[in-house]
Amino acid sequence: QRSTTGRGLAPTGTREVHLKLHCYRGAFGPWAAFSRRRAMPMSRTVLLSLLAVPASALRDSDGSARPYRLQRASPVTKALLAANVASFAVVQRRQRLFLALAKSNAALARGQYYRLASSCLLHANAAHLFVNSASLHNIGPVVEAHFGSTRFAALYAASGVCGNVLSWSLGRAPLSVGASGAIFGLLGGWAVFLASNQRVLEARGARNIGESLSSLATTCALNAALGLSPGSRLDNFGHAGGALGGMAFGALCGPRLREAWVPLRAGGPGLALVDQPLLRLPGRQPSGRRRGTPVGRQRRRA
C-alpha cells in the first residue's frame, strides 16, 4: 500500500506443485527476487490426487461435516484484476474521483468510512498497478482454489479494510491507495491454512510446509525492511494490518481439514477430508465436478 507508488509482494503457486516467493524490490528500480531453494509440492495437483470419492457419490451433508473440494476456476481473482485495471483507467481522466475514493485520514475522521474499502481498488501509477496485479495474479488463484470464491472474496475485502484501519488509527500515510494490504492478507490467510492443516497435508504427501512458512515470514520481514529504508513511501502499517486481518480470517473462517466418515450414495460411509472451520460463512460449498473437486481418499467400513 502506497501513498504515491507501490510495491507488491506475493508467493507464486504453480500447477507443477511448486511454491516460490518473490519480493519485488521497487516499482521503478530493479527487482530483487527471494525464492525458496526447495520447492514444496503443495498445490492443487497434490491435493487433487488424494481422493477417489467422486462428487456424485456424496450425499448432501448437514453442514457440520462437509467434504472438502478444490475449486478449479478463479472468477473472483479475475474480477478483481479487471476491476483494478478499469478503476485505474477511469481515475486517470477524473482526478477528483481519485481524491474522493482514496484513503484520506482527514476524510475518515469526518466519517467517510467507505474509503477504507474503495482505496483498495485504486493505484497511484501504472507501475503500482502492474506490481500489485502481478502479485494478485500469482497468489490469487492458489488461495481461491483452496478457500473457495466466497471465502476468498471475504478474505480479500476484510484484509484490505483491516490494513487501512490500522494505518488510519496510527495516523500513518495521510493519503494512500493500493491493494497491497489485501494481498498481504492473502499471504496471512494462506500461511494460517498451511499451519493449521500441516499434519493433514503432510500425511498425504505434501513436504517442506515448515520451510514454506519460514519463507513467508522472511519475505514479509524483507518487505518491512524495505518500508523502513530511507526515502521509502511504503505503508508498513497498512501491510501489517492486512496480514493480521488475513491471519485472523484464516484462523476463524479458513479451511480446517480432517478425516471423517461421510455417507455415500452408493451405500455405506466413506472416509474423506472434510472442511470444518471455526466459523462458517453463509452459503454452501460447490457440489459436483463442474465447480469443484473433492479432496481426500475413499475408504469404506467393512
| Catalytically active residues, by annotation | 180, 239
Query: CA of 129: how far to CAs of 72, 85, 153, 162, 237, in Å?
Result: 26, 8, 19, 20, 20
Cell numbers at 70, concatenated = 478444490
Cell of 134: 502481478
Angstrom distance (rounded) from CA 69 to CA 49: 12
CA–CA dist 99, 251 (Å, integer): 35
Q: Which three cell numbers stand for residue 213?
A: 512458512
Task: Give the Cα separation of 53 and 68 in Å (integer).
Answer: 11
- Cα–Cα distance measured from residue 163 to residue 235, given in angstroms and rounded to the nearest whole number: 9
Strand pairing category for 103-104 and 175-176: antiparallel
Would you say 85 and 129 are in contact if contact means Cβ atoms under 8 Å apart?
yes
End-to-end CA distance of the chain: 56
Distance CA 270, CA 260 (A): 8
Residues in the chain: 302
